Structure 1
Amino acid sequence: MTPFARVLRVLRAFVRALGIALLVPVLLFEEWGWEPLAALMARLARLPFWARLENHLRQLPPWGALLAFFVPVMLLLPVKVLALFLFSRGHAATALTVLVLAKLVGTAIVARIFQLVERPLMRIPWFARWYPRWKAWKDRVLTIVRQSRPWRMVRALKGRIARGWRRFKEG
């Protein structure tokens, strides 16, 4: 192997590791929030308007479903730009609050929409091919993270805090 090829290989490994390191917090947040936030959004279906909207989403053709899936992502982009603007003006706490709220709302909406349009999305050939690969890769990364020592330590600490809180409430 040539020195250039070796450097390229090391660089590729570094970029891959960096990419995974940057994605892990996002994956963990979405993994934590996806189901509960989607369930929270599903409660809105009790409202007649929302029930009709969800029914329309379920009946979308594949490309309409794809558009419906990405619209909330695009609509939240200006909110994230606003957060960056606030941060640049020295309003770090406000910017962080805006970002966290945007992430929570965005994840809730996207998770629910995905539940409603997954079937039509799977009729798009490239989506049907890549989504299972993405899911398998994400599951592997999350398995590695969950097996890591820091993750286990945080989980153990969380358990101790929960047990202590229960004892405190019981008196």
Structure 2
Amino acid sequence: MRTWLAPLRWLFRITLALLILFEEWGWEPLRRVFALLARLPVIRQIEALLKRLPPRWALVALLLPSLLILPVKLLALWLVAEGRVTLGVAVIVAAKLIGTALLAWLFQLIQPALMQLAWFARQHGRWTAWKADLLAWVRASAAWRWARAVRLRVKRLFRRGREVPPPSV
């Protein structure tokens, strides 16, 4: 019975790893892009308000974007069901990018308040440790090492292609 669980566990782990890697790669750059919007006076006022939230309201603020994105995901699902697959996938990708940017920006602002909730701080620590272990597993894999090597080769090729040859005399 356990023989069929191993491939499922591996598939589940790979799927989670891919999602986490997307978040990791996107989190910081998307947070910086969203921070550019924070230069607007109204966004600065919202930031100040968010930083002052008590822990329980900070948790509500963290969950709110997930609820707000649900209708967008339903719209994307409807588009796919109507045969507009490309548009549906585009809506999902755009929602994921915008949602990740919003969540990264929001979490940065309210993390100190959230860490005052003992259960949240404990779960955050567990999540961080689990995520680090999963990413270490991925980075130790042959597929990851191969992909990194290919990426470095492609990067070198692009650098060589951009080098300007010395002028001939």
TM superposition score normalised by structure 1: 0.88
Q: Does 1:42 align with 2:35?
A: yes
Listed as ranges, the matches of 1:24-103 within 5 Å are 24-103=17-96
Q: Does 1:107 align with 2:112?
A: no
CA pair 23-46 structure 1, distance change in 2 beyond 3 A: same
Structure that is richer in helix per residue: 1
CA distance, structure 1, for counterparts of residue 146 and residue 10 of structure 2: 23
SS of the counterpart of 1:123? Answer: coil
**Residues 43-64 of structure 1, C-alpha deviation per residue, up to 9 Å, x if partnerless?**
2221111111111111100011
Structure 1 stretches lacking a partner, 5+ long: 1-6
Residue equivalent to 2:140: 147
| Matched letter for residue 41 of structure 1 | F
CA distance, structure 2, for counterparts of residue 12 and residue 117 of structure 1: 39
CA distance, structure 2, for counterparts of residue 95 and residue 169 of structure 1: 37
Q: Does 1:118 align with 2:111?
A: yes
Residue equivalent to 2:149: 156
| Cα deviation, residue 66, structure 1 | 0.6
CA distance, structure 2, for counterparts of residue 118 and residue 160 of structure 1: 39
- Identity rate of aligned residues, in percent? 46
Structure 2 stretches lacking a partner, 5+ long: 165-169
TM superposition score normalised by structure 2: 0.89
Residue equivalent to 1:138: 131
Give the stretch that moved more between structures: 31-40 or 106-115: 31-40
CA distance, structure 1, for counterparts of residue 96 and residue 76 of structure 2: 12
